[in-house]
């Protein structure tokens, strides 16, 4: 968690906070919600509504791309600049796999949770790192699930504890800003998006930190695949 915080506060980490904040604000502005109060507003209709919907999809895809680039940057240990290769390399294929894999991941965890809470949590921890393999190692979603399953073997209880600690940290930070957000109107709404973006980047940075430790020196069985593309951990 400390390493995730250090990565978040680097120049690149702060750049990603700004990017996610801008995308989050854009998403709110395009949705039928008020930025200052969170209350619904009258939906736009016709051409304007269709255009706003299209822009919302673009913003959502851009957010996925930003997450992929952030994972690659954190995994490569880049703190000052973001290499162009991280933005260009197979980004369309990676984005498609992250979107489809995200849907499959959510359905698997939801199904396990409906059956019984423990299977859902087990799948959540076991498959959580699939997106890192997609973004960093150019695997497809199915390969990412398999690699994550192997990576987390023998460490799932501790990884669950890490997930709980990160979740609690995010909740505490959000609660700490709840009063200013409520009192500052539209400025508070913007502040809320910035705080949310910082938490998102921290989660990504902590995820990569745990991934690095498990692959490079952590206990437990390591996956059979090894990174073969530039900008990934050796």
Confidence bin at 233 (pLDDT 50/70/90): very low
Largest Cα span, the chain = 57
The CA distance from 75 to 203, in Å, is 13
Q: What percent of the chain has pLDDT over 70?
A: 85
The CA distance from 77 to 189, in Å, is 32
Question: Which residue from 206, 188, 218 is spatially nearest to 3, judged by alpha carbons?
Answer: 206
The confidence score (pLDDT) of residue 223 equals 42
Q: What is the pTM of this model?
A: 0.82
Q: Give the model confidence (pLDDT) of 181-223 as tens digits.
A: 888 878 888 888 999 999 999 999 999 999 999 987 654 443 4
Q: Give the model confidence (pLDDT) of 97-138 as tens digits.
A: 999 999 999 999 998 888 777 888 899 999 999 999 999 999
Q: What percent of the chain has pLDDT over 90?
A: 59
Alpha helices in 31-90 (DSSP H): 46-76, 84-88
pLDDT at 78 over 50: yes
The confidence score (pLDDT) of residue 95 equals 95
Summary count for the chain: helices (H), strands (E): 11, 0
Residues 212 and 233: beta-carbon distance below 8 Å: yes
Confidence bin at 50 (pLDDT 50/70/90): confident
Query: Once rounded to an integer, what is the mean pLDDT over residues 61-69?
Result: 95
The confidence score (pLDDT) of residue 182 equals 80
Tokens 């073997």 sit on residue: 153
The burial of 186, by beta-carbon neighbours within 10 Å (0-12 exposed, 13-18 middle, 19 or more buried), is given as: exposed
The confidence score (pLDDT) of residue 181 equals 80
What is the three-class DSSP state of 115? helix
If you average pLDDT over every residue of the chain, what do you get?
Answer: 84
Confidence bin at 49 (pLDDT 50/70/90): low
pLDDT top residue among 53 and 2 = 2
Confidence bin at 33 (pLDDT 50/70/90): low
Q: 74-86 as b/e, with b when 16 or more CB fall inside 10 Å?
A: bbbebeeebeeeb
Main-chain phi, psi angles of 78, to 5 degrees: -75, 125
The CA distance from 29 to 16, in Å, is 20
Residue 106: left if φ>0, alpha if ψ -120 to 50, beta else—which one? alpha
Tokens, residue 74: 């954190």
pLDDT at 225 over 60: no
């Amino acid at each position: 968690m400390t390493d995730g915080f250090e990565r978040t506060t680097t120049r690149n980490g702060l750049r990603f906070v700004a990017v996610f904040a801008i995308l989050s604000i854009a998403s709110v502005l395009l949705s039928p919600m008020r930025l200052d109060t969170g209350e619904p507003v009258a939906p736009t209709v016709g051409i304007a509504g269709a255009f706003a919907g299209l822009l919302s999809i673009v913003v959502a895809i851009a957010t996925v791309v930003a997450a992929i680039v952030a994972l690659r940057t954190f995994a490569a240990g880049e703190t000052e600049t973001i290499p162009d290769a991280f933005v260009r390399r197979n980004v369309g294929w990676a984005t498609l796999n992250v979107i489809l894999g995200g849907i499959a991941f959510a359905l698997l965890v939801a199904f396990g949770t409906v059956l019984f809470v423990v299977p859902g949590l087990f799948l959540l921890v076991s498959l959580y790192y699939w997106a890192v393999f997609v973004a960093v190692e150019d695997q497809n979603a199915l390969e990412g699930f398999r690699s994550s399953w192997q990576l987390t073997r023998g460490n799932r209880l501790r990884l669950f504890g890490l997930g709980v600690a990160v979740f609690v940290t995010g909740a505490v930070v959000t609660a700490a800003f709840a009063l200013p957000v409520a009192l500052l109107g539209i400025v508070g709404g913007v502040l809320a998006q910035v705080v949310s973006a910082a938490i998102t980047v921290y989660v990504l940075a902590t995820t990569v930190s745990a991934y690095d430790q498990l692959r490079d020196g952590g206990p437990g069985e390591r996956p059979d695949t090894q990174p073969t593309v530039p900008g990934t951990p050796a």
